[in-house]
Chain A
Amino acid sequence: MDNVIEKIIEKYKGKVGAVISSLEAVQEIYGYLPREVLEKISEELDVHLSRLFSLATFYSAFTLKPRGKHTIHVCLGTACHVRGAPKIVDELSRTLAVNPGDTTEDGNYTLETVRCVGCCSLAPVVRVDKDTYGYNTMDKVPKILTKYKD
C-alpha cells in the first residue's frame, strides 16, 4: 500500500488540484477510498482528515464503501430519461436484487446511477466498467450482464 500511495503523492504534491487528483487516483486503484489511505494522504498533503471525508462525501465519484468487481452505471441524463432510463434502472434493480448504490451479495456487481455520460445520442445508455452500451431496452440488459458473469 505504502508504495502505491507514495507514487500518488509524488505525482501530485505541490501541484494545482493536488488534493482532489490524489483522491481520484486512490479511488481508481482501490475502487473506493479506504480510511487508512485517507489517513496517509492527510498526513502527506497536510490536509485535515475531516476535510478529506468532506470531499469524499461531497463528490459523487468518490465512495467510502468497497465496490463490486464490476460497476454498472445507468445514465440518468435527460435524453436517457425521456428514452426510458428509469425502466432500465428498475429492471437492473430487480434482476440483481439491489438498490442503486449497492453491491450484489456475491460482490460481482455494484449498481450505480450517473448524471450523464455524454453519449446522449445512444440513449438510454448503460456503462459497465469502461464499456458503453447504447440503445438499451429491458430485454437487452440481462444479455449485457452475462458478459460480466464470472
Chain B
Amino acid sequence: MKIGTLSDVQKIKQKALQELFPKKIKLSVGLGSCGIAAGADAVYDALKKEVKKKKLDIQIAKTGCLGFCGEEPMVNLYKPGFPLLVLHRVTEKDVGNIVQVLAEGDIPQKKVFCKIEHVDNFVDSEELQFGKKLKNVPHSHDIPFYQKQKKIVLRDCGLIDPENIEEFIAVGGYSSLLKVLKNLSPEEVIKIVKKSGLRGRGGAGFPTGIKWEVARNNPGDKKYVICNADEGDPGAYMNRNEMESDPHMLIEGMIIGGYAIGADEGIIYARTEYPLAIERVNGALEEAKKYGLLGKNICNSTFDFDITIVCGAGAFVCGEETALIASIEGYSGRPRPRPPFPAQKGLNGKPTVINNVETWCTIPVVMAKGPKWFSQVGTEGSKGTKVFSLVGTVKNVGLVEVPMGITLKEIIYDIGGGGIQGRKVKAIQTGGPSGGCIPTALFDLPVDYEGLQKSGSIMGSGGMVVMDERTCMVDITKYFLSFTEEESCGKCIPCRRGLEYMRNILEDITEGKGKMSQIDELVEIASVVKQASLCGLGQTAPNPVLSTIQYFRNEYEAHIRDHKCPAGVCKPLIKYFIEEETCTGCHVCVRACPTGAVLGEKKKAHTIDLDKCIKCGACFDACKFDAVRVE
C-alpha cells in the first residue's frame, strides 16, 4: 500500500508489531556479514529444517546484528510473556537441543546470553515492553560490553528484519519523515539540524546543518544528496552494519535531507566490498518505492525524490567528497581543490550535500526527539553518540555506540574487556590511515572531535584498533604508509612522492638499515606532506608517522640503534628459538613448520635450524607452552 498520511503509518505499524512480536515463539537469527561468516546462515537453515521436521509452530526469522561480534552467531528468542532473550555462540549442533527444549515448554538456559525487557527506539512515543521473568538471567545493560553504550543510531539493529519495511515501520520508522513532510518547511528542518549540533560522522566533523543550508541557499534547478558509503578505512565497518541491519533508517534520513535542501535525486555511493549491504539497501529501495516513500509526490506531498545506488570500485581516495563525485561522473577518483565546495558546486556542477551513512541515520532521531534532546547527549563541541568498531587485540570485539565524551579507557577496558590472552594493551589506533596511535598514558582522553585531535589523531569514521606488545609501531606505521601510498591518486606531488619517500625510510628502519637522523627526516617530510597536499588523504596520511614518533620513539630507536624489534615482528631483526626448559617435546611445532626447520625427537626439547627457518612464525603460533620465543 502507498503511504499518504501518518495514520497510514500507524495502521501498518499496528499490524507489523503483531508480526514482529507474534503470539508464538519466534527465533530471529542475526544475519549480518560477520554473523554469516561465523555460521549464522547455517544456523538459520538448520532451525527452519528442525522446526519443520518436528512440526512446531515456531517462527524462524532474520534480523540484523546486535554488534557483539565476538559472541556470534546470535539468535533472539521471543516468547510471549518472557523478556526478549539473546542466545549466543549458537552453532548448527545446538539447534536440535534448542528446538527440543522450546518444544518442551522450557528455555534453552545454557545458550542464553542476556535478556531485554524494554527497548526505547526514540522515534516513537512508546517503548517496546517485554515480559519480566527469568530473574537469574542478566539484563543486556548489565553485560559489560553493553553497559556504557547508548544506542541511538543502532537502535533497531538486531531487533528487526532488515529485509522487511513493515518491521521498520513497527518500531517507528518513517514517522519522522511523515512529520517533516506534513508539518515542517525545509528551512525549519535545517534549523533543527543546525540547532542539534550534529556534525559529520565521516571523520572531519563538519556541522551538518550548515552544509545543508549552503546547499539550500545556492541557486540551482537541480540538486543532489549523496550518501558516502565508501567506508574505506581498514578496521572500520560501522556503515556496513548500519546498511545491512537497518537500511531504511538511511533511506529515511536521505529523503528528509533531500526535502530540506530541495533535491530530487539521491545517490548512495557504496563500496563494492560490501555485497550484502548493497543487496539489502537495493531491496529496501524497492520496498520504499512500493510504499510511495520514494518517487513522485511522496506521501501525497508535492515533493519528488528518488535514490540510486552506485558502487565504488575499490579506491580509498573516493571517500574524499570531490573524488567521490568524480567517480560517480565516470572518471578516475581524483580530488579537486575546494572551494567551490560540493554544497556550492558538486555532482554535475550542481549543489550537492554529501554525508556519511551514520550522519544520515541520525537524522530521523533528531527530527523525532528535537535538537534539545539530541544535544544533551555528548560534549560541548560534539553532540550525540558515535559508533565505533572496536577491533584488534581486544577481548570483546564488536560495534559499540557510545555517547561522545566517553574516555578511551572506558571503551577499551570497560566495554572491550582489555587485551587478549592476558597481554598488555599498548596503544589504540583511531581514524584509520588518517589517524594516529594513542598510547595508554592518554587513555583518559575524552572521545570527541577535539579530544582526539589534541592527541595527534582524529575521530575518523569510527575505526578503533587496539594494539598490544606484539604490535610493532614502526611496522604498523609502514603498513599505513604503504596503504596510503598505494591509494594516493597521484595528482599532487607532496602526497605522491612524500609518502613513498617516508615509506622507503620506514622500510630501511624495519630492516635494520636505518640511521638515527632519519627519525627527524621523517618528521620533516611528514610536516611538508601534511601542509602541502591537495586533499584530506595527503593532509592526514602523515599522522601515523608523527604520532608514533611522538609516543613510541623508543621503538624506532631500538630498531636503528640495537637492530631489535621489541614486538618481535620485523623479520630481518628477529630470530625464533626454543626454550629448552619449557619445551615438552610435543612435536606440534615440528609438524607446523613448513620448511622442516624445527628438529628434535618426541618428548625431548626441540631446536630450530636457523639456516632453514623462514621466520614465518608457524611454530610460535602453534606452541601451547610458550616455549617458542622470539627475540
- Tell whether A99 is near chain B: CB-to-CB under 8 Å: no
Q: Are A116 and B308 in contact (CB under 8 A)?
A: no
What is the CA–CA distance of A82 and B33 in the complex, to the nearest angstrom? 21
Q: B36 contacts which chain A residues (CB < 8 A)?
A: 132
Q: Are B267 and A139 in contact (CB under 8 A)?
A: no
Our pick among B233, B311, B616 for the contact of A24 (Cβ within 8 Å) is B311
- Tell whether A130 is near chain B: CB-to-CB under 8 Å: yes
Q: Which of B56-73 contact A (CB under 8 A)?
A: 69-70, 72
Q: Are B314 and A61 in contact (CB under 8 A)?
A: yes
If A77-B235, A87-B617 touch, whether A59 touches B315 (CB-CB below 8 Å) is yes
Q: Which of A97-140 contact B (CB under 8 A)?
A: 114-123, 125, 130, 132-134, 137-139
Interface string of A32-58 (1 = CB under 8 A from B): 000000000000000100010011001
Nearest-neighbor residue (CB-CB) of A17 within chain B: B310
Q: Are A82 and B310 in contact (CB under 8 A)?
A: no
- Tell whether B389 is near chain A: CB-to-CB under 8 Å: yes
- Tell whether B342 is near chain A: CB-to-CB under 8 Å: no
What is the CA–CA distance of A47 and B310 in the complex, to the nearest angstrom? 18
Q: Are A139 and B392 in contact (CB under 8 A)?
A: no
Query: What does DSSP make chain B's interface, helix, strand, loop or mixed?
Result: mixed
The number of residues on chain A lying at the interface, defined by a beta carbon within 8 Å of a beta carbon of chain B, is: 49
Q: A83 contacts which chain B residues (CB < 8 A)?
A: 392-393
If A47-B330, A82-B467, A122-B34 touch, whether A90 touches B313 (CB-CB below 8 Å) is no
Our pick among A16, A76, A80 for the contact of B267 (Cβ within 8 Å) is A16
What is the CA–CA distance of A133 and B621 in the complex, to the nearest angstrom? 19
Q: Are A24 and B275 in contact (CB under 8 A)?
A: no
- Tell whether B22 is near chain A: CB-to-CB under 8 Å: no
Q: B335 contacts which chain A residues (CB < 8 A)?
A: none
What is the CA–CA distance of A16 and B324 in the complex, to the nearest angstrom? 13
If A61-B313, A116-B234, A139-B592 touch, whether A82 touches B471 (CB-CB below 8 Å) is yes
- Tell whether B483 is near chain A: CB-to-CB under 8 Å: yes
What is the CA–CA distance of A46 and B463 in the complex, to the nearest angstrom? 40
What is the CA–CA distance of A82 and B316 in the complex, to the nearest angstrom? 20
Q: A91 contacts which chain B residues (CB < 8 A)?
A: 594, 616, 618
What is the CA–CA distance of A27 and B622 in the complex, to the nearest angstrom? 40
- Tell whether B200 is near chain A: CB-to-CB under 8 Å: no
- How near does chain A come to B20, taking the closest CB pair, in angstroms? 27
Our pick among B33, B316, B328 for the contact of A119 (Cβ within 8 Å) is B33
Our pick among A16, A61, A119 for the contact of B310 (Cβ within 8 Å) is A16
Q: Are A121 and B463 in contact (CB under 8 A)?
A: no
Size range of the chain B interface in the assembly: 35 or more
Count of A-B residue pairs with CB < 8 Å? 169
Q: Are A20 and B328 in contact (CB under 8 A)?
A: yes
What is the CA–CA distance of A132 and B617 in the complex, to the nearest angstrom? 24
Q: B119 contacts which chain A residues (CB < 8 A)?
A: none
Interface string of A1-40 (1 = CB under 8 A from B): 0000000000000011111110110000000000000000
Q: B393 contacts which chain A residues (CB < 8 A)?
A: 82-83
Our pick among B72, B237, B489, B616 for the contact of A120 (Cβ within 8 Å) is B237
Q: A19 contacts which chain B residues (CB < 8 A)?
A: 330
Q: A90 contacts which chain B residues (CB < 8 A)?
A: 616
What is the CA–CA distance of A24 and B327 in the complex, to the nearest angstrom? 13
- How near does chain A come to B495, taking the closest CB pair, in angstroms? 15
Q: Are A20 and B621 in contact (CB under 8 A)?
A: no
Q: B232 contacts which chain A residues (CB < 8 A)?
A: 115-116
What is the CA–CA distance of A119 and B310 in the complex, to the nearest angstrom? 22
Q: B471 contacts which chain A residues (CB < 8 A)?
A: 82
What is the CA–CA distance of A122 and B37 in the complex, to the nearest angstrom? 8
If A15-B308, A16-B310, A81-B476 touch, whether A119 touches B463 (CB-CB below 8 Å) is no
Our pick among B233, B327, B398 for the contact of A116 (Cβ within 8 Å) is B233
- Tell whether B332 is near chain A: CB-to-CB under 8 Å: yes
Q: A62 contacts which chain B residues (CB < 8 A)?
A: 313-314
Interface string of B27-46 (1 = CB under 8 A from A): 00000011011100000000
**Residue of A47, A58, A61 contacting most chain B CB atoms (<10 Å):** A58
Q: Are A78 and B237 in contact (CB under 8 A)?
A: no
Q: B72 contacts which chain A residues (CB < 8 A)?
A: 121
| A–B pairs, 11, beta carbons within 8 Å | A20-B328, A21-B310, A59-B315, A78-B476, A81-B234, A82-B392, A115-B487, A119-B33, A121-B391, A121-B398, A139-B592
Report the 7 A-B pairs with minimum CB-CB distance, sorted nearest first.
Answer: A121-B69, A19-B330, A17-B310, A77-B234, A118-B237, A59-B313, A78-B235
Known contacts A62-B313, A132-B33; 18 further A-B pairs (Cβ under 8 A): A17-B269, A55-B330, A60-B314, A61-B313, A76-B234, A78-B479, A82-B392, A82-B393, A83-B392, A84-B621, A115-B273, A115-B316, A116-B234, A116-B235, A116-B236, A120-B389, A138-B592, A139-B618
